[in-house]
Amino acid sequence: MVNSALVNVMVKAARKAARPLRRDFGEVENLQVSRKGPADFVTRADRRTEDILRGELHHARPAFGFILEEGEDESGDGEHFWIIDPVDGTTNFIHGIPHFAMSIALKKGDDLIAGLIYNPVTDDMFIAERGRGAFLNNRRLRASARKGLSEAVIVNGCPHRGRADLAQFRKELAVVSAQVAGLRRFGAASLDFAWLAAGRFDGYWERGLKIWDIAAGVLMVREAGGRVEDLDNSGADVLKTCNVLAAADGVFPMLATVLRAAK
């Protein structure tokens, strides 16, 4: 695959931000033995990564705005927006677990046109561009060809402390676990999407996410031949509700039926 100029901009920014982030991750592993803990250090690493990504992307496309955790920057052309999560999977990062990623998406109007998900520890670079497919390190991705739930491995985002949707999740977990080959919870939404696009998982659901958690992944799954919708079948844009149901095409109908009936 020959990357477009737009994707090359994203890849260059991610690789530049990855170098100090890998060093930061090594320091976090060392900080596990300290009483203070690594939380403050990780906050600084997150901000540093965001600053690098934002600087590189703005330099390459100065007319584009940004959607970030602290809010929307509308100083650009009002149509193109970079959507950035500098460290998705922060809890994993804090605990020295090498399963986290930076996520970059580009939205034009209401349409996602490009996405990148990069784990700097494993050097797995997932990229997608609207109409051009999804790729892992230049290898084309296809969602799995499984049909139904009996052989499916499903990943989910289990609500943690402070999340109000735990009761609903327990109902969903009960009905899904009774029908699938396996359930997983890895703690990084962007990589859940990327691994679904790669055929490693067959389905994924989670509530209460943010647009920067899902934007690149939504495009990734769709470009790999999978389906992504609002979990509650509201007909609303999943980028606005951020309650996600995603799956390979052959798994989606049954997974959707089971989850949407769990009330």
Look up residue 248 and give its two tokens.
Answer: 């390979």
pLDDT of residue 36: 45
Whether 4 has a pLDDT exceeding 80, the answer reads yes
pLDDT of residue 74: 64
pLDDT tens digit string along 41-97? 677 888 999 999 999 999 999 999 999 987 777 667 889 999 999 999 988 988 889
Residue-wise DSSP of 129-181: ETTTEEEETTEEP------SSTT-EEEE----TT-TTHHHHHHHHHHHHTTSS
Which of 26, 51, 53 has the alpha carbon at shortest distance from 38?
Answer: 26
Residue 169: HSE in the Cβ half-sphere, 13 Å Cα cutoff: 18
pLDDT tens digit string along 162-184? 665 788 889 999 999 999 999 99
pLDDT of residue 63: 95
CATH 3.40.190.10 fits domain 5-140: no
Q: Measure the CA–CA gap between 212 and 183, rounded to whole angstroms.
A: 24
Region(s) of the chain under CATH 3.40.190.80: 153-260
Kindly report the number of other CB atoms within 10 A of residue 256's CB atom. Answer: 18
pLDDT of residue 214: 98
Distances, alpha carbon 88 to alpha carbons 4, 149, 186, in Å: 25, 28, 11
Region(s) of the chain under CATH 3.30.540.10: 5-140
Does this model's pTM top 0.85? My answer is yes
pLDDT of residue 246: 98
| 244-247: strand order across its sheet | 182-184, 153-156, 203-206, 244-247, 227-230
> What would be the CATH architecture of the domain defined by 153-260?
3-Layer(aba) Sandwich (3.40)
